[in-house]
Each structure stands twice: as C-alpha cells, then as structure tokens.
Amino acid sequence: MMKNKNQNGYAILFTVILVSIISLISFGLSNTIYKQLLISSGARDSQISFFQSDMATECALYADIFKGGEDLKDGGSFNCGFDKDGNAYTMNVSLITYGDVNTYTLNPGGVSTTNPCFKIEIRKTPNLIFTGAQDTKISASGYNTCNQYGSRTVERTIEVNY
C-alpha cells in the first residue's frame, strides 16, 4: 500500500492555523478587558476626586460662613472632614495679602500621598458696588491621591462664588 505524499503534514498545518486563530481571539479579548479595567478605574478615581472636592467646599463654607471666618487665621489650623481611615483632616491655613485681596490657602496636614486629599483656596476681594462688603471665591480641588503630580492622579475642582 502506497500513501499519498501530498497529504503529509496536513494535520500539523491545520493545528497551527487553529492555534493561531484561538491565540488572536484570546489576545483581542484580554486587550479589551485591560482597557475596560483602565476605564473603570478612571471613573472610580474621578468619583473619589469629586467627593474630595465636595468635602473641601463644605469645609471652606463651614470655616468662612458658619464659623464667621474665625478659623481662617494665618498659621492657624482646624479640623474638618475625615480620611478613609476615619482620621480628621487638620487644615493648615496660610494667608497671602496683595493690596485689598486676601487669599487663604488651606491644605490638610499629615496625609499620606496614597490617600485621597484636597486643597482649598479662598479669595476675598472688596465689592466694588457695596462699600464694606466682600466678594468671596472658593476653589476646592480634590485628588484621588495626595501625590498631585503623579501620572494617575485625577483632579476635580468646584468653585463657589458669593
């Protein structure tokens, strides 16, 4: 009995083609899953940053309106908000005065660079229409990590004017 020499290696060729197709499909699926993970982690980081900026806005309004600005003293500090471990944020206050404009910068002290955090800037300028009144602008920026210059850091800012 003589074998047909034209059919030698057909099974190996078929197996190589089948394995190649399955490998390409697997690579495509794993690439899609990886990109979906990046998108979902970006959405989570954005949400954390927004909630941090919202908390920072509430802290600034609390210090300025509810407490009458008594917590906004240069070099002063006050507690406002909690980190993910339940520890209170201690806000360190610094003041820069340029002419009639007072700019307060509030930063939480003692926060790990891996934890979410925020920073607040409160700018008070004299109102040009009503003598003795002030216009206030609060810029509260929230971050998913306190490493504000990291490649995966997400920042969200809320501004309040009154």
Cβ neighbors of 49 (< 8 A, separation 6 or more) are 116, 142, 143, 144, 154, 155, 156
Q: What is the pTM of this model?
A: 0.73
Would you kindly state where each structural domain of the chain is located, as residue ranges? 11-161
Q: How many CB atoms lie within 10 A of CB 50?
A: 17
Q: Has residue 63 got a pLDDT over 60?
A: yes
Which tens digits make up the pLDDT trace of 1-43? 555 556 667 788 889 999 999 999 999 999 999 999 888 888 8
> By the 8 A CB rule, do 93 and 73 touch?
yes
Q: Where residue 50 falls among pLDDT bands split at 50, 70, 90?
A: very high
Parallel, antiparallel or unpaired: strands 117-126 and 101-109: antiparallel
d(CA 156, CA 154): 7
